Amino acid sequence: VILGSVVFYPEAMKRSFTFSEGLLWFVLGVALFQIAYQLSSRYVERYFPERKYDDLIYQYLDLAGQSHSISEIFTHMMNIVQDKDGPRPHSGVVLWRQNEKDVFTSQVSFCIKDITQFSLSNDSALIRFLLQEYVQGDAACGPVSILIKDGLDKMYGKGKVYPLYREFKRIDAEICVPLLMKTAANTCMLGGLLCLGESQIGDVYRDEDYTFFQEIAKHTVQAIVNVQARELVFQAKQEEYQRFLVDSSRALLQIEKVADVAGHTVEMIQKYIEPVSLGMYVYDREKGIYVLGASSGEVGKEVYAPIAKEDYFARYLAERKEPLRTPDLLRWAEESKAVDWQEVANQVRAFRAELVI
């Protein structure tokens, strides 16, 4: 109001405002402010649009959840970070702890020269700093904090961070995102690092970019925990499987009749794999046909008709050395349109089989 009075009505400053004049200038000031606000908002939205990464995060959740190894998770993470709808850093590298050596080595990288065999030990300035500032004494492994190169001297002083600058420069990084893991003792451990260069969009990362990196780091750690848990279960299952095979092999060697072998084999597979249905054919030399030796599950013996040795199905299986998946067989039968393949497909459908060995 005062600025408007001076510019547009200087004579008004020499006398007192009436109520109507004050109200008029107040309304005018509010209107001018609203116009300026709208124009500036449109400018910001046009030239500095807000970056939304919800879709990318959901996409990464699906990819990371389906990964079968840690390296596969890191590959998906880097692809998401480089996505055209993402922050698009011009370079990046993932460093992961090697437990047996207690060294962080590069796993996946892009646009960084001579980084294939790059590694950082616990004695390096960057790792020491992260262990001191982020890990020690933190039993909860709280929200991931991002280490930003340009903000180091303001937070910790130039003398303390000079060695960090040199390591940031070695890996051409602008920011480092710690990947914090929980140990068996429920304490926090530095599992790895995601180091990224400047953004190709505008050089400087925004708050939403940092939030995106934090979410990606959090989901990466969770996906790694899931993969490690699955590996432990698989390893235990393999050990159990090996013991089971040894015991079953010993039992099979003591069996004298073929029918008993079939029954024991079906019992063994049913106990370990638990298929919905299972049938084992045995060749009858006298009749020259394959007959059902043993079965289990939902499918009864009446479904398993004898198979002649001359049947295309029997001849095909005799030549095949690998297990036959039913979906592959049905697809081949559909594509070939051959009568023989259709015959095999019909037999497999009758067995309700998913796998033929």
**CA pair distance 246, 128, nearest whole angstrom:** 49
Q: Which two tokens stand for residue 273?
A: 């794999």
Strand order in 289-297's β-sheet?
A: 277-284, 289-297, 307-308
Residue 341 has pLDDT above 80, yes or no: no
Q: What is the mean pLDDT of the chain?
A: 80
Q: Give the pLDDT confidence of 87-140 residue by residue, as tens digits.
A: 888 888 898 987 666 788 888 888 766 555 678 888 888 888 888 776 655 445
Residue 268 has pLDDT above 80, yes or no: yes
Residue 241 has pLDDT above 60, yes or no: yes
State the pTM of this model. 0.61
Q: CB within 8 A of 281, min separation 6: which ones?
A: 290, 291, 292, 293, 304, 307
C-alpha torsion 197→202→208→212, nearest 10: -30
- The most confident of 153-162, 201-210, 286-295, by mean pLDDT: 286-295
Residue 339 has pLDDT above 80, yes or no: no
DSSP helix/strand/coil, 280: strand
Q: Give the pLDDT confidence of 27-56 residue by residue, as tens digits.
A: 888 888 888 888 776 765 555 556 788 889
